[in-house]
Structure 1
Amino acid sequence: MTDLKVQHILTLTQLIAQGARHNFVPITTSYLGKSINKSQQSASKHLRELEKDGFIERIMHGRKFSVKITSKGYSEMVKLSSILKSSLNSFPSFVELKGTLVSGMGEGAYYMSLKGYTKQFKSKINYIPFPGTLNVKLHEKEYIEAAQQFRTLNGVIIKGFCDSKRTYGWVKCFKCKLNNSIDCELIILERTHHDESIIELISKTNIRKTAKLRDSSKLTIRIPIMG
């Protein structure tokens, strides 16, 4: 890990942004404090500590001064950057949700069989789903909150449409794997009667039957995250 103190990272970042990597840059503690959202006194303390630890050099001009980051200071920032990049690139490439199977109200079969949806399913996810959805109850808060992010992530959009009876909302699809073996889609609906703890899956086949599932069966869903 880096030898830098957490409170000094923003200060060095701001100094680099001001051009202090290669040059002595005139700076005031009041300006620096505002830039890092700290008081003038805190900014002054940061500079003293950074100078003492050999991360910066200061040249005084009466009551004014100029600052330059030392090779040691820059090396520590490069090290920190490498650690951050490694951490950000090592995140799981999927979201995992766990829950149990519950029975729905039977509405999924009706909606999944509407031509306004089936034509789009065929062209966009390459199959017409079995008429019905598999309802999964998420019991843990972390899974419920993880599932909510799919409302803002990019998925395959099945557009809403109108017929002589009413208007139907959009459906967003995300490829996923059920119990590490069954290919299916997590669907996010523009309109739903379910609360946030219920997610719905669709597939080519009747998952409940082919996987021999019943209410309360434990399920694990993995949804790949693209980028």
Structure 2
Amino acid sequence: MMVKDRANFNYFHFLILVHLLSIGGRNNYLEITSGQMSRIINRSQQTASKVLIDLERENLIERVKNNKKFGIRLTEEGYQTLQEIYIMLKKSIDNSKNNKIFFKGKIVTGMGEGAYYMSLEGYKKQFHDKLGYEPYPGTLNVRLEDKHYMISRKDLINQPSIHIEGFKNSDRTFGWVKCYAATIIQDVNINHDSNPVSKNIKEMDVHVLLLERTHHDNSLIEVIGPQSIKEVSNLKNGDTVIIKIKN
């Protein structure tokens, strides 16, 4: 019987099966009380007893009474059920590694800060050494309109990045910058037209920046590239673009 056919199979059933497997319960009868199982699932002893009864009824475990104690082990069906779950989890985890983080937003006019920061030698040399190019002066600013993109923007700091060190000059201290390799392309389906007007659409390799010190909130993404992103990709203010973070 497949996992999907078990309408009553739940998280507590899963925890107990996994625990039994981990301590040798596939091939051996183990003397485990419902009290011990209650601690495994962090529920009452009564709940643990019911879970054990459910598992036995579904032929996922078998219990043999020896005097006042029960010996418990997985049945072959119980072991196969865990194997099915493992295969599904592994496939999902492997597939998730290929799922890129992406954002969608509109290009907006910046405040000119990007051009200033890109011109600072303390950053320029590190960009050249670590990214392999000296960025075009200025950043492309993309305003995120949907909340889930803003949340992803906030969580981006937890992803692997290229770290640009902060530095000091005679005037002030400048913070670190985290760079994320990405691609940017115009969203040609913005008008949901089944026959969009032919345009010179070009995907461009870029880097998304997260700054230690910035006036922007999580609704805005700053992007740099070796050339003018607008010119190379035929973009303008107001265009909707898709930014995909590379793994």
What TM bracket, shorter-length normalisation? over 0.9
1:175-217: CA deviation from partner (whole Å, max 9, x where unpaired): 1111161111111111110011001000111112333322211
Q: How many residues align?
A: 225
SS at structure 1 position matched to 2:101: strand
SS at structure 2 position matched to 1:94: coil
Letter in 2 for 1:190: E
* Contact 2:203–2:233 (CA under 8 A) maintained in structure 1: no
Distance 1:63 1:50 in 2: 20
Letter in 2 for 1:120: Q
Letter in 1 for 2:15: L
Correspondence for 1:85? 90
SS at structure 1 position matched to 2:82: helix
User: Does 2:10 correspond to 1:6?
Assistant: yes
Aligned-residue sequence identity (percent) comes to 40
* TM-score under structure 1 length normalisation: 0.95
Correspondence for 2:177? 171
* Contact 1:187–1:201 (CA under 8 A) maintained in structure 2: yes
Correspondence for 1:69? 74
Counterpart of 2:104 (choices 84, 92, 98) is 98
Distance 2:135 2:39 in 1: 57
Segments of structure 2 that go 5 or more residues without pairing to the other structure are 186-201
User: Does 2:147 correspond to 1:125?
Assistant: no
Shift of 1:33: 0.8
- What is the RMSD of the two structures over their aligned residues, measured on CA atoms? 1.3
Counterpart of 1:210 (choices 222, 227, 232) is 232
1:11-53: CA deviation from partner (whole Å, max 9, x where unpaired): 1111112221111001011110111112111111111111111
Correspondence for 1:137? 143
Segments of structure 1 that go 5 or more residues without pairing to the other structure are none
Correspondence for 2:160? 154
* TM-score under structure 2 length normalisation: 0.87
Letter in 1 for 2:176: W
* Contact 1:93–1:224 (CA under 8 A) maintained in structure 2: no
User: Does 2:116 correspond to 1:116?
Assistant: no
* Contact 1:155–1:173 (CA under 8 A) maintained in structure 2: yes
